[in-house]
Structure 1
């Protein structure tokens, strides 16, 4: 019998650190919808069904269109995303698909055209945070489909 660790009961202290990052990000100045798009895209790359369910629900509740959600995995080809969103998505993908070495200059320069130095730091923290959640939820088999909008707001 495959029994996973119950994170809600046993992971409270560990999650407190990640919740601190969420609190920081909620006040960082990057648009909330943009952060959610990053979370959704990184979760697509990592194959985290729990986070995909969560962020799709959160994006829809905030007014994101179905079309943009459906096309996000092919955002490079879709004309529906702003330059700022494209730069952030490029940055998020580069940090999620680490290939060794530093992020290429062309990607760094593209993100710097749209974001201040502080915003690039904040985007980086956002990508680190969602990658952490993805890995935890995948490792412990988070219950997909159970998330309700606002469930983790404090």
Structure 2
């Protein structure tokens, strides 16, 4: 599959704004491991090979073990995800699959048990941002490097 065009060159101001979102994410104070797991899971759901590859590589560089990364899609059954990570991954799935009707009360209650209001807000921002990146990469067919 060949990239449709270079969206970085096509709209530098838009991409500048997109990269600014990354600085906001870094400033949230959320754990790096948690953020990377969320980015990988949303990218898996969206079929974004570019983002899956990039975030898995980044996670490995930050010491997240392969067995954890290999099982992100099966997080509910894997014993090495904390309750906090599982709550974040459930919320990621809920917000990434907005078109699928669901009662989100259980997911939200689980989230509220492990995250304060600021963290819930910041996590939701992270989920929104990775979904936005996925749409650029999938829509314009950006391939893993």
Summarize the alignment of residues 53-64 of structure 1 with structure 2, pairs less than 5 Å apart.
53-64=53-64
Q: Deviations over 1:96-143 (max 9, x none)?
A: 011467862111110000000010000100000000000100111113
- CA deviations on 1:48-91 (whole Å, 9 max, x unpaired) are 00001100100000001111111111111111100110000011
**TM-score, with normalisation over the residues of structure 2?**
0.93
The 2-side partners of 1:103 and 1:42 are apart by 19
Q: What stretches of structure 2 of length at least 5 have no aligned partner?
A: none
Deviation at 1:11, TM superposition (A): 2.9
Match of 1:63, SS state, is coil
Deviating 4+ runs (over 3 angstroms): 99-103
Q: RMSD between aligned alpha carbons?
A: 1.6
Q: TM-score w.r.t. structure 1 length?
A: 0.87
Count of residue correspondences:
144
Change (3 A) 1:115 1:8: same
8 Å CA contact 2:3–2:140 kept in 1: the answer is no
| 1:73 alignment partner in structure 2 | 73
Contact 2:43 2:49 in 1 (8 A): yes
Identify unmatched segments of 5+ residues in structure 1.
Answer: 147-154
